[in-house]
């Protein structure tokens, strides 16, 4: 069944060639127990390794069941070792991190036999060698004889035709040696056993045939004692290790090096932690940003000004200049000047705005050019206040929610248009000029109660403007008391400071409800000066000629019209409603010429977008820095895997001797790097998650609005584990390839 035809083996030693086997001719049959005897270095192991397909002959032929092996490929040899050969070595060659049972089963795992059948067969052979009670032990816990029994059980598992034993008793005491030899002799009844020994007594006592080698040549052969069976041909079953088996092998190996594995994973998780933290902080920021947009910026109204400034090309005003479907090769001309769009508030548009669904807005404010004249009393005498110092303006936040935007320091919030509040800066700071304008002496200490209840008087046109001869109107500066008496009295009912939500800075002074201005406009619209101006194309103040536009401006200035706003502010309470308002405006714009369209500005959105872009760019840059450590760790994994390859060289030899392919070896080490990578990734995201707590705690300490600044995103975490695994796989790839290329004979020789 086995024929060695003129087998020659040359070893290259440096420059010269050493001929270890000088033409071996031997024929073996089933049922033989062949002992190969000879002095050390005569070529016994080499012969055995060539017979077992672990080593290649230089010339000659090895014929298996009538099939020549001259054209065997790598995989054929792998399959041959797995199906037909069982090796038993002097040094047992068991994998120390696997149990007895797993060691025995390994060969069958390579041939892809189901778990149940594997277990059954493994238990059967272990029982046959008398070890059924020790199957879960590690080989290190066994005696030498027991280890050799495990090795024999492993050799028997796939029911090979040939058992090759290289000095199997070399490391055993004589009693144990006899036990092992008895076992091998019994096995030889069904199989071909070829055993290398240098103990002639054992050979003579147990073997059925003795072959003697010397200097690479057969010098004696006692001849075959059994009749040859006809050769049945040879067809081996291909082997393949499943990735799961590779994982288990590597996992068990790593378990024996827990400390190193944890330290390695920890080190390579640093990059993951870096990227993870950057991502979670940017995630936290983005979440907070949309929250701010939802809750705080939503208080900012949509602005529709007469002059609509454009901030960039992306503004509605600019993109609107792009034709709806430009031709494929058309170059679109864009004139930056054209983006400065003038909104024309036609009656049609104002009516369209009136038809806005009441559900979607809280208030619509129209700003007119009217600047009221306000008087106060200083030491009992009325005087006109300097409005440019006073900051006299209406609230820019929703009026039904004033308490959210302003801290009330004294008094109450206004409940009707004749009640106003004084807005101060933080720490109740007020500018000198404002105090002065209010009619107080800034050099004297002023208290809240001095200001509470203070009355101001808004002049009405008919009291303020007196018609002179020639149709010119002049302000009645001589009798201010009568202007005060006829004017609208407004009272400061409260003192407030803006909260952060109000987004209001440097806007201190008198704040009034929006309705005050509309009331005043209503009262003034029928005044003498308004009627006169409406009916004349000359200025009522100095009789200069006015264009239509200038006339509108004068009318606005003296509070005569309420149909020509220069700014419209639409307040709403949610992002969805804001969208609805924009859609309503878009509806007006549909099918209109660009010049007739109305463009709005949504500051909240613009602020949000700008901040969002900023956060994204910052996180990209930071992630890139953190990624450098990812690359470093994948190089480190490469080194670690390389060390592991060196440590597990013996295991490589064992797996190869059991029929493992080169591919299976690289699979084992790839599995190792995948395990480390996945572990590092999981460790990294766990640490990232844990770190978000102290980071958030510190951030909150620093600034309350930074609560939850670090928020992990599950998808990011999953991606990070995958990236870590892939990077370590890449890092371990080259060492795994090196492992696969190792010569199995050399690998087995390593101690």
We find the least distance from the C-beta atom of residue 41 to ligand ADP, in angstroms, to be 4
What DSSP string runs through 581-631?
Answer: HHHHHHHHHTT--GGG----EEHHHHHHHHHHHHHHHHHHHHHHHHHHHHH
Q: How far, in Å, are 432, 438, 440, 449, 451 from residue 445 at the CA level?
A: 12, 14, 10, 12, 12
Cα–Cα distance, 540 to 276 (Å, whole number) = 70
Region of residue 240 (phi > 0: left; psi between -120 and 50: alpha; otherwise: beta)? beta
| By CB under 6 A, residue 683 contacts ligand ADP | no
- Between 45 and 282, whose beta carbon lies closer to Mg ion? 45
* Residue selected from 1, 7, 35, 42 as contacting ligand ADP according to rule CB under 6 A: 42
We find the least distance from the C-beta atom of residue 178 to ligand ADP, in angstroms, to be 23
What DSSP string runs through 154-207?
Answer: HHHTT--SEEEEESTTTTS-HHHHHHHHHHHHHHTTTSEEEEE-S-HHHHHHH-
Place of tokens 């509470």: 452
Nearest partner of 2 among 158, 191, 151, judged by Cα = 191
655 binds, among Mg ion, ligand ADP, none (CB under 5 to 8 A by kind): none
Per rule CB under 6 A, count of chain residues that contact ligand ADP: 12
We find the least distance from the C-beta atom of residue 34 to Mg ion, in angstroms, to be 15
| By CB under 6 A, residue 46 contacts ligand ADP | yes
Q: Which residues contact 247 (CB under 8 A, 6 or more apart)?
A: 671, 674, 675
| By CB under 5 A, residue 45 contacts Mg ion | yes
We find the least distance from the C-beta atom of residue 123 to Mg ion, in angstroms, to be 32
Cα–Cα distance, 183 to 136 (Å, whole number) = 22
Q: Quick one: 74 exposed, middle or buried, by C-beta within 10 A (0-12, 13-18, 19+)?
A: exposed
Binding region for ligand ADP (CB under 6 A) out of 10-18, 229-237, 457-465, 576-584: 10-18
Cα–Cα distance, 416 to 418 (Å, whole number) = 6
| By CB under 6 A, residue 214 contacts ligand ADP | no
| By CB under 6 A, residue 17 contacts ligand ADP | no
| By CB under 6 A, residue 454 contacts ligand ADP | no
| By CB under 5 A, residue 49 contacts Mg ion | no
119-125 long-range Cβ contacts below 8 angstroms, 24+ apart:
121/157, 122/153, 122/157, 125/153, 125/154, 125/156, 125/157
Nearest partner of 459 among 442, 440, 483, 443, judged by Cα = 483
* Residue selected from 41, 442, 471, 694 as contacting ligand ADP according to rule CB under 6 A: 41
| By CB under 5 A, residue 111 contacts Mg ion | no
What size, in residues, is the chain?
Answer: 751
11 binds, among Mg ion, ligand ADP, none (CB under 5 to 8 A by kind): ligand ADP
| By CB under 5 A, residue 533 contacts Mg ion | no
- Between 17 and 707, whose beta carbon lies closer to ligand ADP? 17
What backbone torsions phi and psi does residue 601 show, to the nearest 5 degrees? Answer: -120, 130
| By CB under 6 A, residue 219 contacts ligand ADP | no
- Between 42 and 390, whose beta carbon lies closer to Mg ion? 42
- Between 151 and 421, whose beta carbon lies closer to ligand ADP? 151
SS3 at position 450: helix
Nearest partner of 31 among 2, 6, 5, 4, judged by Cα = 2
The DSSP secondary-structure symbol of 78 reads H
Binding string, 560-579, against Mg ion, x = CB under 5 A? --------------------
50 binds, among ligand ADP, Mg ion, none (CB under 5 to 8 A by kind): none
Binding region for ligand ADP (CB under 6 A) out of 42-50, 406-414, 415-423, 724-732: 42-50
| By CB under 6 A, residue 56 contacts ligand ADP | no
We find the least distance from the C-beta atom of residue 23 to Mg ion, in angstroms, to be 19
- Between 89 and 729, whose beta carbon lies closer to Mg ion? 89
Per rule CB under 5 A, count of chain residues that contact Mg ion: 1
* Residue selected from 6, 11, 237, 416 as contacting ligand ADP according to rule CB under 6 A: 11
We find the least distance from the C-beta atom of residue 44 to ligand ADP, in angstroms, to be 3
660 binds, among ligand ADP, Mg ion, none (CB under 5 to 8 A by kind): none
Binding region for Mg ion (CB under 5 A) out of 37-45, 320-328, 527-535, 738-746: 37-45
- Between 45 and 343, whose beta carbon lies closer to Mg ion? 45
* Residue selected from 45, 67, 253, 308 as contacting ligand ADP according to rule CB under 6 A: 45
We find the least distance from the C-beta atom of residue 735 to ligand ADP, in angstroms, to be 23
The DSSP secondary-structure symbol of 429 reads B
- The CA angle 125-128-130, to the nearest 5 degrees, is 115
| By CB under 5 A, residue 197 contacts Mg ion | no
Q: For residue 3, what are the β-bridge partners?
A: 27, 63
| By CB under 6 A, residue 20 contacts ligand ADP | yes
- Between 25 and 225, whose beta carbon lies closer to ligand ADP? 25
Binding region for ligand ADP (CB under 6 A) out of 11-19, 125-133, 624-632, 728-736: 11-19
Binding region for ligand ADP (CB under 6 A) out of 44-52, 92-100, 294-302, 541-549: 44-52
| By CB under 6 A, residue 244 contacts ligand ADP | no
Is residue 570 within 8 A of residue 514, CB to CB? The reply is no
Is residue 403 within 8 A of residue 504, CB to CB? The reply is no
We find the least distance from the C-beta atom of residue 153 to ligand ADP, in angstroms, to be 24
The DSSP secondary-structure symbol of 538 reads B
Nearest partner of 151 among 184, 117, 118, judged by Cα = 184
Contact positions vs ligand ADP (CB under 6 A): 11, 13, 18, 20, 38, 40-46
Give residues in contact with Mg ion (CB under 5 A).
45
């Amino acid at each position: 069944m086995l024929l060695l035809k003129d087998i020659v083996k040359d070893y290259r030693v440096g420059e010269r060639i050493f001929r270890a086997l000088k033409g071996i001719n031997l024929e073996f049959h089933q049922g033989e127990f062949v002992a190969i005897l000879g002095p050390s270095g005569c070529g016994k192991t080499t012969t055995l390794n060539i017979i077992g397909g672990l080593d290649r002959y230089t010339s000659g032929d090895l014929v298996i069941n009538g099939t020549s092996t001259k054209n065997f490929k790598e995989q054929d040899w792998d399959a041959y070792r797995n199906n037909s050969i069982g090796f038993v070595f002097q040094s047992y060659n068991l994998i120390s991190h696997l149990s007895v049972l797993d060691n025995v089963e390994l060969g069958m795992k390579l041939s892809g036999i189901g778990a149940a059948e594997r277990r059954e067969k493994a238990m059967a052979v272990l029982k046959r060698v008398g070890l059924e009670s020790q199957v879960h032990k590690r080989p290190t816990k066994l005696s030498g004889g027991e280890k050799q029994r495990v090795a024999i059980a492993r050799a028997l598992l796939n029911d090979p035709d040939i058992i090759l034993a290289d000095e199997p008793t070399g490391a055993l005491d004589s009693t144990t040696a006899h036990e092992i030899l008895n076992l091998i002799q019994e096995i030889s009844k069904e199989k071909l056993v070829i055993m290398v020994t240098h103990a002639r007594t054992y050979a003579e006592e147990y073997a059925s045939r003795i072959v003697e080698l010397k200097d690479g040549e057969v010098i004696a052969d006692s001849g075959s004692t059994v009749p040859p069976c006809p050769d049945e041909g040879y067809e081996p079953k291909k082997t393949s290790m499943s990735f799961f088996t590779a994982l288990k092998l590597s996992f068990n190996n790593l378990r024996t090096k827990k400390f190193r594995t944890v330290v390695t994973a920890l080190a390579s998780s640093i990059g993951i932690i870096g990227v993870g933290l950057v991502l979670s902080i940017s995630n936290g920021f983005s979440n907070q940003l949309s929250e701010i947009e939802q809750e705080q910026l939503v208080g900012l109204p949509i602005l529709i000004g007469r002059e609509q400034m454009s901030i960039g090309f992306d503004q509605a005003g600019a993109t609107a200049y792009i034709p709806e479907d430009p031709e494929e090769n058309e170059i679109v001309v864009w004139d930056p000047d054209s983006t400065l769009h003038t909104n024309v508030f036609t009656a049609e548009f104002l009516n369209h705005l009136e038809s806005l669904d009441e559900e979607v807005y809280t208030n619509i404010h129209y700003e007119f050019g009217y600047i009221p004249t306000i008087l106060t009393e200083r030491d009992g005498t009325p005087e006109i206040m300097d409005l440019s110092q006073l900051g006299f303006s209406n609230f820019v936040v929703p009026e039904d929610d004033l308490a959210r935007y302003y801290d009330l320091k004294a008094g109450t919030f206004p409940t009707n248009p004749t009640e106003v509040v004084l807005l101060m800066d933080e720490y109740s700071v007020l500018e000198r000029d404002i105090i002065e304008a209010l009619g107080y002496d800034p050099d004297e200490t002023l208290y809240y109660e001095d200001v509470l209840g203070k009355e101001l008087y808004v002049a009405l046109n008919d009291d303020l403007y007196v018609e002179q001869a020639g149709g010119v109107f002049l302000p009645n500066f001589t009798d201010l008391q009568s202007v005060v008496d006829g004017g609208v009295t407004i009272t400061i009912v409260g003192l407030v400071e803006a909260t952060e939500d109000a987004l209001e800075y440097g806007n201190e002074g008198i704040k009034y409800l929006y309705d005050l201005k509309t009331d005043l406009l209503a009262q003034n619209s029928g005044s003498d000066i308004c009627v006169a101006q409406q009916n004349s194309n000359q200025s009522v103040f100095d009789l200069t000629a006015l264009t239509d536009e200038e006339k509108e401006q004068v009318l606005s200035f003296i509070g005569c019209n309420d149909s020509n706003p220069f700014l419209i502010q639409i307040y709403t309470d949610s992002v969805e409603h804001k969208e609805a308002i924009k859609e309503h405006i878009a509806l007006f714009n549909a099918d209109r010429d660009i010049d007739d369209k109305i463009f709005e500005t949504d500051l909240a959105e613009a602020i949000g977008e700008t901040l969002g872009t900023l956060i994204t760019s910052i996180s990209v840059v930071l992630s890139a820095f953190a990624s450098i450590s990812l690359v470093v760790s994948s190089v480190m994994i490469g080194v670690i895997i390389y060390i592991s390859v060196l440590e597990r060289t013996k295991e490589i030899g064992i797996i190869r001797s059991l029929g493992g392919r080169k591919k299976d070896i690289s699979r084992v080490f790839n599995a190792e790097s995948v395990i480390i990578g996945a572990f590092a990734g999981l460790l990294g995201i766990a640490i990232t998650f844990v770190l978000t707590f102290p980071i958030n705690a510190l951030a909150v300490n620093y600034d309350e609005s930074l609560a939850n600044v670090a928020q992990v995103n599950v998808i990011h975490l999953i991606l990070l584990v995958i990236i870590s695994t892939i990077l370590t796989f890449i890092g371990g790839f080259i060492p795994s390839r090196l492992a696969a290329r190792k010569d199995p004979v050399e690998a087995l020789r390593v101690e």
